[in-house]
Amino acid sequence: MSTKTWRWICKINGVEWVKKIKKEKTDLRTVFTATNEPIKLIEKVSVETSMRTRTRRLTFYVAAVDRETIILGTGGFKAMGIQLKIDEPSRDVRIVDEVKLDRHGQKIVEIVVEGIIHKERRLCLINPTSRCLTAGVFQVSSEGKARIKIANHMSESIFLRKGQKIATGELNGFEILNKKPELLKKLNSWFRDIQGGR
């Protein structure tokens, strides 16, 4: 990408974001355009990059060129799930900070839902992959963050690592029943029938 584009990205994301960037000297000696013109590479940067449902750390080369496009190499396409389209699997839900849950303990923790969160999609259905979490719908911020309650129902302590996947998330394909009272009434009736049949 051009230095102009890189400066624009840094300005949009702010000082705190810039501090998290991994910068290195370029490991490529000579790079040429399709018309065999040499390209001067300024630096190599590694940044968290989000496209729809995926967030991955990708490496970019900042170059002394005029164009404002960003060229993503084939390795970057593979990392982001790009073939003819971006795959739309469930999003990974990860814990923000490490947590220790004593036996039968519970805590409110911060999670992050991977990928870009659009303004109109701020509710996320969480499907647990960890025993300390129950399914639910949570309000997420534009950064994909939310606070949820986790509980340890086992007789041993549980340790969750920073960044550990604890669930998958869905931003569409579900409905909030309290907005449709007739559906909620049917669901409650169905639960009563199931519990009565035990």
Please, what are the domains in the chain?
A: 3-79 (no CATH), 91-177 (2.70.40.10)
Specify the pLDDT at position 3: 85
Residue 73 has pLDDT above 90, yes or no: no
Name the token pair of 156: 């041993």
Q: Answer whether 0.75 is exceeded by the pTM.
A: no
Helix, strand or coil for residue 109?
A: strand
- What is the band of 77 on the pLDDT scale with cuts at 50, 70, 90? low
- What is the band of 96 on the pLDDT scale with cuts at 50, 70, 90? very high
Specify the pLDDT at position 161: 92
The DSSP letter of residue 73 is P
Q: What is the mean pLDDT of residues 86-110?
A: 84
* CA gap 11, 25 in Å, rounded: 21
Specify the pLDDT at position 110: 93
19-72 confidence digits (pLDDT tens) = 888 888 777 767 777 677 788 888 888 888 877 777 888 888 888 887 766 665
Burial 62-78 (b: 16+ CB within 10 A, else e): bbebeeeeeebeeebee
Residue 181 has phi, psi (to 5 degrees) of: -55, -35
Specify the pLDDT at position 174: 67
117-160 confidence digits (pLDDT tens) = 777 667 888 888 888 888 888 888 888 899 999 888 888 888 98
**End-to-end CA distance of the chain, in Å?**
63
∠ CA 153-158-159, nearest 5°, is: 150
- What is the band of 97 on the pLDDT scale with cuts at 50, 70, 90? very high
Find the length of the chain: 198
160-196 confidence digits (pLDDT tens) = 899 999 998 888 766 666 666 776 677 677 667 766 6
Specify the pLDDT at position 72: 59
